[in-house]
Structure 1
Amino acid sequence: MNAALYACTIRHVRTTPWRYVLRHRTYMWLVDPDRPPQLPLLLRPLARFDPRDHFTADQPSLRAGLDAFLAGHGIDLEGGPVVMLTHARVFGYVFNPISLYWCHGPDGDPHCVVAEVHNTYGGRHAYLLYRDEAGTAHADKEFYVSPFLPVDGRYRMRLPRPGPRLDLTVHLDRADGRTLTATVHGIRRAVTAPNLLRLALRHPWSTLAVSAAIRFHGIRLYLRGLSVQPRTDDHRAPENVT
């Protein structure tokens, strides 16, 4: 199968108004959105890649959803290759804090990166990113993610295409300085039945666990005195069913 697994450690470090660290272990998939993996029947509950979970949720395939988003920004990859880092549906449930798409032109040269962000309120938003010579991309924050942060500031992202290792970094800088740093580090694993079963047993119902962990730490932050920022536009996605 034209795919890979990454056993990941996700780390968030909040620096204001005081330091708070969140760590979570999980696994993610690197897939070709033109040809997402088709698992053997008995393993299919552990991984499903549904186009309704991405972008406008009304496209017939993962690649069609991406191409429609890019077309809205005047971009045509002309069939060039794309690799996508994401969580799959596990037992019918998925939550993708971030899905990344490394987009290439028809000659295979890197063109852009799309970062699709989801929040726990059912909203989703995609950022079109261009990396500079140092491999860094920047984007103004336009989407409500944490209930404790307003929609302001600027992201600075280091998003090298995954290889044997996964090494991603996202900083959020606001007027009063760096507020948040998120990192994702992972080790590549071949997509085999033993590897998938091993990761699924080590991180049971992984996507639900990610969502639960975010809510658990949100409650802890609230109890420590952080105030909730009001939402104005949550970019709510269409209703999705399993």
Structure 2
Amino acid sequence: MVNVSPGPAPALYPSVITHVRTSPRHYQLTHRTYLWLIDLDAPPRLPRMLRPLAGFDGRDHFGGGSTGIKTGLEAFLATRGITLGGGRVLMLAHARVLGYVFNPLSLYWCHGPGGELRCVVAEVHNTYGERHCYLLGPDAARSADVAKEFYVSPFFPVEGEYRMRLPVPGERLGVTLHFDQGGHRMFTATVRGERRPATAGVLLRAAVRHPWSTVAVSAAIRRHGIALWLRGLPVRKRPRHRPQEGLK
């Protein structure tokens, strides 16, 4: 087990997300946004007037149930033989803003009752309303490899491998994801940010700088997809999605 000392939550991370495609054509996009880091047992309590700017709903994650995000996570882990014994779970994700949320990637650092990191879960959503979770060991805080199993970009096949580096966020956020196929690097995504206290003032400033941030993320993905299509990239047929056990 890996012992970690996660920082206080909740927190906000004004972030820069960068995507670099190296094959079949080079293409780069950069998007500025902000992400939340929350303790699933102690979600943020906001003044009533600010609640439309940050909602966390179990229906947006895992099996989509109304009983809470941690309940959905624990149901998913139980099908893989993992229990947390009441340990702390930190989630990095977009909050629901003005009734809408889209999380291309949500991350969960799952700890045991003694504070040891037991696993990391990477929950991926695509723009077709589907989701898939990758279960990673505690070494994901340094580096972990996992086979790609889920259709995300219409320009990449499902076949290939992810290499992820997912350290627990501290004063800085630094997440890296590579997609490799046949020994070739096809795509790299990074998320870089700095911790801010989750105060009303910090949230308001972030919301003003990035209005309706979750819609902006979804729109940016579609806008860049159109740009790639206009450049002549062939679209890969989307295979039938089969929900994972514990996510139905």
TM-score (norm 2): 0.92
**How many residue pairs are counted as aligned between the two chains?**
237
8 A Cα contact 2:125 2:132, kept in partner: yes
Cα distance in 1, alignment partners of residues 222 and 140 from structure 2: 37
Counterpart of 1:17 in structure 2 is 24
More off after superposition, 171-180 vs 198-207: 171-180
Contact 1:12–1:183 (Cα < 8 Å) also in 2: yes
2:161 is aligned to: 154
Q: Report the counterpart of residue 197 of structure 1 in structure 2.
A: 204
Among 76, 80, 97, the alignment partner of 2:87 is 80
Q: What is the 5 A alignment of 1:131-142? A: 131-132=138-139, 135-142=142-149
CA distance in structure 2 between the partners assigned to 1:176 and 1:211 by the alignment: 30
In the alignment, is residue 65 of structure 1 matched against residue 69 of structure 2? no
Q: What's the offset of the Cα at 1:131?
A: 4.1
**1:166 maps to what in 2?**
173
- 2:41 matched to which residue of 1? 34
1:108-127 to structure 2, matched below 5 A, reads 108-127=115-134
Higher deviation after alignment, 215-224 or 167-176: 167-176
Matched, 1:178 2:181: no
Number of the residue aligned with 2:229? 222
Q: In structure 1, what is the Cα distance between the partners aligned to 2:26 and 2:51? A: 40
1:202-213 matches, within 5 Å, as 202-213=209-220
5+ long unaligned stretches in structure 2: 1-7
Instruction: Give the CA deviation at 1:175.
Output: 1.1
Structure 1 counterpart of 2:64, which letter?
A: A
Structure 1 moving runs of 4+ over 2 Å? 131-134, 233-237
Question: Quick one: distance in 1 between partners of 2:149 and 2:66?
Answer: 24
Q: What is the RMSD of the two structures over their aligned residues, measured on CA atoms?
A: 1.6
Contact 2:91–2:109 (CA under 8 A) maintained in structure 1: yes
TM-score, normalised via structure 1 length: 0.95
Q: Output the amino acid matched with 2:61.
A: H
Decide whether the 8 Å contact of 2:140 with 2:166 is kept in 1: no
Q: Given that residues 5 and 190 in structure 1 are in contact (C-alpha distance below 8 angstroms), is that contact kept between their aligned partners in structure 2?
A: yes
Show structure 1 runs of 5+ residues with no match. Answer: 238-242
